[in-house]
Amino acid sequence: ISGGETTVTVRGGGRGGRNAEFLLSLAVALDGHAGIAAIAADTDGIDGSMDNAGAFLLPDSVERAVQAGLNLPVNLTNNDAYSVFARLGDLLITGPTRTNVNDFRAILIDESADSSEPRRPSR
């Protein structure tokens, strides 16, 4: 569990927010390791300029992204995390909360899952 606002260096023209981008970066770094889930969200209900508070990264997110024809490293380079999580149906949408107590992130690691070897999604 962590809190605080992350910093994003915008280089691409995609849609996103810092919380969705954090999760997309995590997904790329995990490279399909099993048993890891995460959430990142802004407590005010708005991640950047989009309608989501953040997103969820589920143990099968990378596999579903590959099956949907998404290229996660390219989306990350283009700062286009929103499109990835929207396509997967994994956006966290709360609407404005009228409060702001910072961003938060939580990562859950299922130790019973074999996360020592990456799961390579079939194409």
**Neighbouring-strand partners of residue 42:** 103
Q: Are 65 and 84 a contacting pair, CB within 8 Å?
A: yes
- 0.75 exceeded by pTM: yes
Q: Please indicate, yes or no, if residue 81 is contained in any of the structural domains.
A: yes
The structural domain count of the chain equals: 1
Q: Please indicate, yes or no, if residue 49 is contained in any of the structural domains.
A: yes
What is the share, in percent, of the chain residues with pLDDT greater than 90? 56
DSSP line for 65-95:
HHHTT--HHHHHHTT-HHHHHHHHT-EE---
Q: Please indicate, yes or no, if residue 80 is contained in any of the structural domains.
A: yes
Per the structure, the complete domain to which residue 90 belongs is given by: 2-109
Q: Are 19 and 43 a contacting pair, CB within 8 Å?
A: no
Q: Among the listed ranges 32-36, 91-95, 104-108, which one has the minimum average pLDDT value?
A: 32-36
Rounded Cα distance between 87 and 45, Å, is 20
Q: Please indicate, yes or no, if residue 120 is contained in any of the structural domains.
A: no
**What's the mean pLDDT when you consider all of the chain?**
87
Q: Is the pLDDT of residue 123 over 50?
A: no
Q: Please indicate, yes or no, if residue 119 is contained in any of the structural domains.
A: no
- Helix (H), strand (E) counts: the chain: 4, 5
Phi and psi angles of residue 40, each rounded to the nearest 5 degrees, phi first: -140, 130
**Neighbouring-strand partners of residue 38:** 57, 107
List pLDDT tens digits, range 68-77: 999 999 999 9
Sign of CA dihedral 46, 12, 25, 34: positive
Q: Please indicate, yes or no, if residue 78 is contained in any of the structural domains.
A: yes
- At 56, which CATH number? 3.40.1480.10
